[in-house]
Structure 1
Amino acid sequence: MPTPPKTEPSAGVPSRLRNAVFQSVADEGKAALVERRLRVAINRGVLQAGERLPPESELAKSLGVSPVTVREALVLLRQRGLVTTKRGRGGGSFVTAGADPASHAADELASISRTALRDLAAHYFAVTGGCLELAAHRAAPSEVEAIRARLTTFSDAVPSDRLVQSTPAQWRHVADDVVVELCALGQSVRLTKEQMRVQSELSPLLGLLAVDDAERESQRSEILGLVDDVARGDAAGARETLRATVSDIVERLEAKRRSLLER
């Protein structure tokens, strides 16, 4: 019998899955990825102005990249004015003393396109929503209440009518920790790790909104809504609450972006 001809992809009808197979394995180089991680940490205030970074060899080992990659990333950070490097005894790389996380976050929001902002929000919703659904099924009541106490303790420490007496950075640290801890109750290491990554990417932008009293209280109320849904074991409710929250966040960030561009 004749050998059947090999099946070839239909001409002019590209397969998205097929195209994805041959897409670049990395849209950005490793140096850009390292630079982004450190930049986000600086913009969030995790790495503070004047703080000395670990030596290049230690950074390379902890990040799983080569020392050359770390050096390239530091060059990018120096070009942004976020890091300064001193030579000789007592030298090293330091977060620029005048580094202003809010200023850099504002530049980032102003430069991001409307499409890219909505894509970031969609990614955040997909990952965080998955974590919260699992948390609603798997979390113990005592675990959820311990997380709720973080927000309660914070609001008790600051008068409820002046929630923003704390700095935007202080509030975002609390907010981010609470959301990550809530997502971690889903007991999925992979999802939680990705949620932490996208949370750190979105957080500096949320910090730009948090300078407003009403906005900070709004963020707190939205997080408490998610805590309530998880506490009830309402997976569908948690997803819908998150959907509404992300939609509102996008609207507020787009308004903030317009105001930045109009300056």
Structure 2
Amino acid sequence: MSIQVPSATPNRLRNAALAPIGDEGRIELVESRIVQAITAGAFTEGERLPSETELSALLGVAVVTVREALSNLRHRGLIETRRGRNGGSFVRLSHGSIEESNARALRLMSRVALADLAVHYEAVCGACAEYACQRATQGELDLVATVLERARGLDRVAWRRRITEVQLELAALSQSVRLTKAHVRVQTEFTPLLALQDIDKQARAATQDALMAQIRATRERNVNGSRNAVRETVRASARWLVSLQADLLAVPHDEDLRATLEARRRER
């Protein structure tokens, strides 16, 4: 019998990814939000996105801005448009297209912004881990551990979705609504960058091992052990991303991004 991950996970990711943009309602930000949602697993292969009108209302931008953003995403091969009664914009999961979009975002991010995002992520995850040590039941931890173990052997896209689900469920075990919401927001923002690391099999294995160590520490009510597991995996990811960012900054054109990622993939 398969273990079912709670169905609320995609909805939490969608709500965070599609929160209002406000005055910064530019085409690039709309694109970024949708890519974040797809990478984090809020929308899966073949799933229909909300309509232009719905996205406009969710993101707080004009319909024409959403339309232009969707056009760009379609050109990049991330979505496809179907006509007719059951038509709309549908997700197309291509490893290359998603990776290049995320690599482009990493290259455009300043080193300070990347470090600050990692610090924010570590702080929120650490706080959730501390309260989960006090409040999680053994049964809840058994379920999360089983879901995590079954991530082994999945392809990179499915593995990242499963790992994100596990991270969100661990945060929810804090039983703090505010902390969990904060975790969902920063998880949605950071996941597209973390997904770049998934080309490295050793990094994937280290992430999975760190999450299992966090679950073990939570079982033992070991706050320091749980926080240390979070700290180690986040800081290792940040170092990896800084190194990749340096490589990406060394290539002048977008068409060179794929070659840079392929070179990283061949290293492992």
Aligned counterpart for 1:37 among listed residues 14, 33, 56: 33
Preserved contact between residue 230 and residue 238 of structure 1 (Cα < 8 Å):
yes
Q: What amino acid sits opposite 1:119 in the alignment? A: D
Q: How does 1:147-186 map to 2 (within 5 A)?
A: 147-155=144-152, 158=153, 166-186=154-174
Preserved contact between residue 124 and residue 179 of structure 2 (Cα < 8 Å):
yes
Tell me whether 1:218 sits opposite 2:215 in the alignment: no
Secondary structure, counterpart of 1:210 in structure 2 = helix
Preserved contact between residue 148 and residue 166 of structure 2 (Cα < 8 Å):
yes
CA distance in 2, matches of 1:122, 1:49: 31
Secondary structure, counterpart of 2:199 in structure 1 = coil
Aligned counterpart for 2:88 among listed residues 83, 92, 99: 92
CA distance in 2, matches of 1:30, 1:135: 38
Aligned counterpart for 1:28 among listed residues 24, 28, 47: 24
Aligned counterpart for 1:137 among listed residues 109, 134, 147: 134
Preserved contact between residue 132 and residue 239 of structure 1 (Cα < 8 Å):
yes
Work out the number of aligned pairs and report it.
227
Shift in Å at residue 90 of structure 1?
A: 5.9
Q: Which runs of 5+ in 1 are unaligned?
A: 1-24, 159-165
Shift in Å at residue 174 of structure 1?
A: 1.0
Q: How does 1:102-121 map to 2 (within 5 A)?
A: 102-121=99-118
Alpha-carbon spacing, 1:190–1:31, altered in 2? closer, same or farther (3 Å) = farther
Shift in Å at residue 250 of structure 1?
A: 0.8
Which residue pairs with 2:68 in the alignment? 75
Tell which deviates more after alignment, 167-176 or 39-48: 39-48
After TM superposition, the score normalised by the length of structure 2 is 0.72
Q: What amino acid sits opposite 1:47 in the alignment? A: F
Q: What amino acid sits opposite 2:187 in the alignment? A: Q
Preserved contact between residue 217 and residue 223 of structure 2 (Cα < 8 Å):
yes
CA distance in 2, matches of 1:242, 1:122: 11
Alpha-carbon spacing, 1:229–1:113, altered in 2? closer, same or farther (3 Å) = same
Q: What amino acid sits opposite 2:157 in the alignment? A: A
Which residue pairs with 1:199 in the alignment? 187
Alpha-carbon spacing, 1:96–1:185, altered in 2? closer, same or farther (3 Å) = closer
The structure number with the bigger radius of gyration is: 1
CA distance in 1, matches of 2:53, 2:66: 13
Q: What amino acid sits opposite 2:118 in the alignment? A: A
Tell which deviates more after alignment, 194-203 or 174-183: 194-203
Secondary structure, counterpart of 1:93 in structure 2 = strand
Report percent identity of matched pairs. Answer: 37
After TM superposition, the score normalised by the length of structure 1 is 0.74
Which residue pairs with 1:5 in the alignment? none
Question: 1:144-167, CA deviations, whole angstroms, 9 ceiling, x for partnerless residues?
Answer: 121111122333xx3xxxxxxx32
Preserved contact between residue 46 and residue 91 of structure 2 (Cα < 8 Å):
yes
Secondary structure, counterpart of 2:48 in structure 1 = coil
Question: 1:124-149, CA deviations, whole angstroms, 9 ceiling, x for partnerless residues?
Answer: 01211111111111111111121111
CA distance in 2, matches of 1:193, 1:90: 33
Alpha-carbon spacing, 1:116–1:71, altered in 2? closer, same or farther (3 Å) = same
Aligned counterpart for 1:208 among listed residues 170, 181, 196: 196
Q: How does 1:218-237 map to 2 (within 5 A)?
A: 218-237=206-225
CA distance in 2, matches of 1:154, 1:51: 22
Q: Which runs of 5+ in 2 are unaligned?
A: 1-20, 252-268
Tell which deviates more after alignment, 42-51 or 145-154: 42-51
Q: What amino acid sits opposite 1:137 in the alignment? A: Q
CA distance in 1, matches of 2:161, 2:235: 22
CA distance in 1, matches of 2:207, 2:141: 18
